[in-house]
Amino acid sequence: MVPIAVLSLVVWVYLVGFRGGFWRTDQQLGSDVLLPELLPTVAIVIPARDEADMLPLTLPPLLGQTYAGKVGIYLIDDGSLDGTGEVARAIAISSKTPLQILQGKPLPPGWTGKLWALDQGINAATIDLNPDYFLLTDADICHSPESLAMLVSKAETGCDLVSLMVRLRCDSAWEKLLIPAFVFFFAKLYPFKWVNTVKNNTAAAAGGCSLIRRSALEEMGGIQALQNALIDDCTLAAKIKRRHKPRNANIWLGLSDRTHSLRPYDDLQTIWDMVARTAYSQLYYSPFLLIGTIFGMGLVYFAGPIALVGGLITQNWQLAAIGGLTYGLMSWAYGAIVRFYQLPWIYAMALPPIALLYSLMTWDSAIRHWRGRGGGWKGRTYKA
């Protein structure tokens, strides 16, 4: 047991010290807004499928942005059955702000619903506005009034893609337990500092809020280049960043405490479905990577606590010390995102059972795929 415990400790030393500071929360969009004299034109594109409950909360802030440049807002009603288009139209009328509402066309083969909706909105906006940037944002995202100005300001420093990992809702008991870990695991896969380094090949984005330069989008082949990618945000980031090898393009990904996702995850099942929808696709649908991931999760998140408890029970103080150091390092690293979400420190110590739940979600994601139910979202199921 001692060699396994030592290996787990070595892994955590590497993760904390040498993996791009993934655990830190210092990559955040600044509040300073430095815009050029000639303000770029921006088209805001919102894919919406059955979002009638969300739009009264999220659409008014978008219609009331403080950005002084020319802005067009395009909402694509993607086959909604709950009156999403009518709700959006009523909000626009009451706010006296122009809003283009497009009725989405039937989903063609080889496309996912969100990407097909984005493609229609981008095409319409290109004809109407000839914009410099597209802001691609989900219907559940609540923007601060200065959000667009801050995003454009960051992009004008030389970024082709600026993306925000918005502050996810963290109100229910299950959200408090599992949502910060979702961000933690994402950052471990794609350390934000590495993403934001031009010469590092690591590329990622958060699809809920991404501002992309139009010329960069066209150079990569438009949204059509993504087509049926289930993890479309990271695929987009990779195509943008790596299109100018050997000098990569500049992209930026960071956290935000001003822009929020209002999507509720009140129970375990809703979070489970959210993770299981794409977890296996992150592993390229490989059974070997799935098995390796499960074993890796055990080594990284379970070996330390098990060594601590086992060492205390058997009075093997060396084993207990190694396990305690590993568990402490793990909890300390996770504590940064726990503090960002303003949760008590005790949540930082819950990472091992949290990792167990995420491991089970990943396994279930593979089972859903094997049964032909992978990638399901709002009544649609997508094949690999």
Q: Read off the pLDDT of residues 283-297 as tens digits, 9 standing for 90 and up.
A: 889 999 999 999 999
How far is the C-alpha of 94 from the C-alpha of 171, rounded, in Å? Answer: 30
Q: Quote the mean pLDDT of the chain.
A: 93
Mean pLDDT, residues 333-339 taken together:
98
DSSP class per residue in 64-96? T----S-EEEEEEE-S-SS-HHHHHHHHHHHHT
Is 357 found in the same domain as 283? yes
Residue 127: per-residue pLDDT: 96
Cβ-proximal residues to 252 (8 Å cutoff; 6+ apart), any chain: 154, 159, 161, 162, 163, 195, 196
The residue among 103, 131, 159 that closes a domain is: 131
Q: Kindly report, residue by residue over 113-168, the tens digit of the pLDDT.
A: 899 999 999 999 999 999 999 999 999 999 999 999 999 999 999 999 999 999 99
Residue 47 lies in a domain: yes
Report the domain count for the chain.
Answer: 2
- Res. 382 pLDDT band, cuts 50 70 90: low
Residue 158: per-residue pLDDT: 92
Q: Kindly report, residue by residue over 303-325, the tens digit of the pLDDT.
A: 999 999 999 999 999 999 999 99
Residue 259 lies in a domain: no
Residue 267: per-residue pLDDT: 95
Pure H helices in 221-374: 232-241, 268-276, 279-282, 287-297, 303-314, 317-340, 351-370
Is 6 found in the same domain as 78? no
Residue 107 lies in a domain: yes
Mean pLDDT, residues 86-106 taken together:
92
Half-sphere exposure of 345 (CA within 13 A, CB side): 5
Residue 378: per-residue pLDDT: 58
C-beta separation of 68 from 39 below 8 A? yes
Residue 81 lies in a domain: yes
Residue 49 lies in a domain: yes
The residue among 131, 164, 181 that closes a domain is: 131
How far is the C-alpha of 137 from the C-alpha of 96, rounded, in Å? Answer: 21
Q: Report whether pLDDT(186) > 60.
A: yes
Residue 375: per-residue pLDDT: 63
Residue 380: per-residue pLDDT: 55
Is 7 found in the same domain as 50? no
Give the residue among 270, 212, 223 at the shortest CA–CA distance from 113.
223
Give the residue among 27, 351, 298 at the shortest CA–CA distance from 182.
351
Mean pLDDT, residues 98-118 taken together:
92
Percent of the chain with pLDDT over 70: 95
- Res. 72 pLDDT band, cuts 50 70 90: very high
Domain encompassing residue 47: 42-131
- Res. 371 pLDDT band, cuts 50 70 90: confident
Lowest model confidence (mean pLDDT) among 14-28, 128-142, 235-249:
235-249
Residue 383: per-residue pLDDT: 58
C-beta separation of 76 from 45 below 8 A? yes
Report the relative pairing of strands 133-137 and 100-103 from DSSP bridges.
Answer: unpaired
- Res. 242 pLDDT band, cuts 50 70 90: confident
Is 102 in a helix, a strand, or coil?
A: strand
Residue 376: per-residue pLDDT: 59
Residue 187 lies in a domain: no
Residue 112 lies in a domain: yes
Q: Report whether pLDDT(188) > 70.
A: yes
The residue among 102, 131, 160 that closes a domain is: 131
Residue 339: per-residue pLDDT: 97
What angle is formed at CA 293 by the lines to CA 25 and CA 316, rounded to 5 degrees?
85
